[in-house]
Amino acid sequence: MSQQPYVSVDRGAEGGTRMCAVVTVTVDLGAEQDGAPPPSSPARAEVLLLDCSASMGYPREKLWAAQDAAAEAVRALPDGTYFAIVAGRHTAEPVYPRGPRQSASLVRADATTRKEAQDAIERLVPGGGTAIGSWLELARELFGRRPGPAIRHALLLSDGRNEHEQPDALAAELTACAGRFTCDAIGIGEDWDPDELQLVADRLDGRADAVRDLDALPGEFRSVTAESAGRYLTGLRLRLTHRPGSAPLTVQQVHPTRRDLLPERVTAGERCLEFRTPPWGDETREYLVCVAASRTPQEPVDRALWLADLKVVQEPSQDGAAPSPRLPPARPLLVHWTRHRDLYSAYDPKVAHYAHHDALVRGLEEGRAAQRAGDEPRARAAWGEAVRRAHAMGNEPMLQRLGDVVRIIDAAAGEVEVRPDIRPLDIKSAMVLRAHSTMLPQRRKPRRESRDPEPQATEPQATEPQDREPQGPESQDRES
């Protein structure tokens, strides 16, 4: 955990402040096995939601690329994966296995079913409209007909806006699907809506992106399907226990994508909340947690005080077959009241890193709004700020997308020029990446001591005085 715990005594007494930390969680079950045989893989289920609306036929290459990509995804499915193919129009239609929607089901992947699925994909024809909520509804029904624990993932492809159902219908279906399966959303062509794809990805724990080169679509489908197949660990939750008189203000996943977890909190005890996480592979995710902190006259100065605990916990397995990783101990979120300006004026590098991302998103959105209003100077300034922030974060994918919107003169200074041939697609392709983030690059430790601390030096363990009181719920009364 990375945190700068020092706060001005005066600020703590004048209404308080928010104390923030970035929590890094890494899963590497293979490294933990230490020569032991790997645990059995959980059941997997995959549904491909393919846009087959009329617009997919103009140009016809879009549908051909979608067919090639779907066939590539089917080939990438591990043996035994339960799967189905859905054609999305103004209604959703089971393509494979084919049959009435009321009895549609999933089948297990093997040589025979893969060949049958690929044959069915080749027969797809464009027609009808776009109603993404109905596509997700059929996916939810299909997943529900495969009982028992499983890792469930959908891959949605769309080339248009959700024009054939009411917005509240999509919102209601996303609420019904949340927590039941994850979904990645990909836009192709020029008419898809980045806000709609981002909404789907946010609510269903996935990623939204765009593929502008149709030749790259099969590779993208193969990559997303392989990433889903690499997830094996379920049931991990982030548990936050806070002291009396305090409360969490922010709980967000900030890497690899940004997602607000606070609306989905579950009460797990007095002053204790839990936040679910989607299935894991061997990967690292980071979370930003901010807790309210205010100082009472009784609280000591120049001592690290317990504010909250952060811990990763695992739900009991439904069938006893899920892998059980070694979970780390709870990490304390601290507050340290001080009168030393050189301490409380410093910023934690990881917290500051993700603050750059917030400013980047604001720049993207302000630039799009200004461009729509015909205000080029304001658009240039906003997109220039987005470029500056992306450069500061080392976010190369975003810099590449922004490079199609503006000509970057000096990335570090945010000096740009709006391209005269800018297209709506260029802006959409940058906007759809706004939830993607990069981690703070690791810096090499200096050979001799420096007054500039490494990011690790700001973690709570490094800032706790040896004589501070115990960190945990049992010490709340003494520290409050």
Query: Each residue of 233-248: pLDDT tens digit?
Result: 999 999 999 999 889 9
* Confidence band for 11, pLDDT divided at 50, 70 and 90: confident
Q: At residue 464, does pLDDT exceed 60?
A: no
Q: What is the DSSP letter of 436?
A: B
Q: At residue 436, does pLDDT exceed 90?
A: yes
pLDDT at 318: 60
Residues 294-346 have pLDDT tens digits of: 888 888 999 999 999 999 999 876 655 566 788 999 999 999 999 999 998 89
Q: What is the pTM of this model?
A: 0.88
* Confidence band for 460, pLDDT divided at 50, 70 and 90: very low
The C-alpha atoms of residue 148 and residue 144 are separated, in whole angstroms, by 9
Average pLDDT, the chain: 88
Judge residue 372's burial from the number of C-beta atoms within 10 Å of its C-beta, 0-12 exposed, 13-18 middle, 19 or more buried: exposed
**47, 135 contact by CB (below 8 A):** no
Nearest to 288 by CA among 8, 63, 25: 25
The C-alpha atoms of residue 182 and residue 24 are separated, in whole angstroms, by 22
Residues 366-413 have pLDDT tens digits of: 999 999 999 999 999 999 999 999 999 999 999 999 999 999 999 999
DSSP 321-388: -S--PPPPPPEEEEEEEES-HHHHT---HHHHHHHHHHHHHHHHHHHHHHHHTT-HHHHHHHHHHHHH
* Confidence band for 445, pLDDT divided at 50, 70 and 90: very low
What are the φ and ψ backbone dihedral angles of 123, each rounded to 5 degrees? Answer: -90, 0
pLDDT at 381: 98
pLDDT at 16: 74
Q: What is the mean pLDDT of residues 228-232?
A: 92
Q: What is the mean pLDDT of residues 434-458?
A: 57
The C-alpha atoms of residue 316 and residue 295 are separated, in whole angstroms, by 39
Q: At residue 35, does pLDDT exceed 70?
A: no
Q: Which residues contact 400 (CB under 8 A, 6 or more apart)?
A: none
The CA-to-CA distance between both ends of the chain, in Å, stands at 23
Nearest to 367 by CA among 385, 353, 354, 355: 385
Q: At residue 37, does pLDDT exceed 90?
A: no
Residues 45-89 have pLDDT tens digits of: 999 999 999 999 999 999 999 999 999 999 999 999 999 999 999
Q: At residue 476, does pLDDT exceed 50?
A: no
What are the φ and ψ backbone dihedral angles of 224, each rounded to 5 degrees? Answer: -65, -40
**358, 21 contact by CB (below 8 A):** no
Question: Which of the pair, 202 or 148, is modelled with greater confidence?
Answer: 202
Q: At residue 130, does pLDDT exceed 80?
A: yes
Please state which of the ranges 148-162, 268-282, 385-399, 463-477 shows the lowest mean pLDDT. 463-477
Percentage of the chain exceeding pLDDT 70: 87
pLDDT at 447: 40
Q: At residue 444, does pLDDT exceed 70?
A: no
pLDDT at 207: 97
pLDDT at 391: 95
Q: At residue 451, does pLDDT exceed 90?
A: no
Collapse the DSSP code of 394 into the 3-class scheme (helix H, G, I; strand E, B; otherwise coil) and give the result. coil
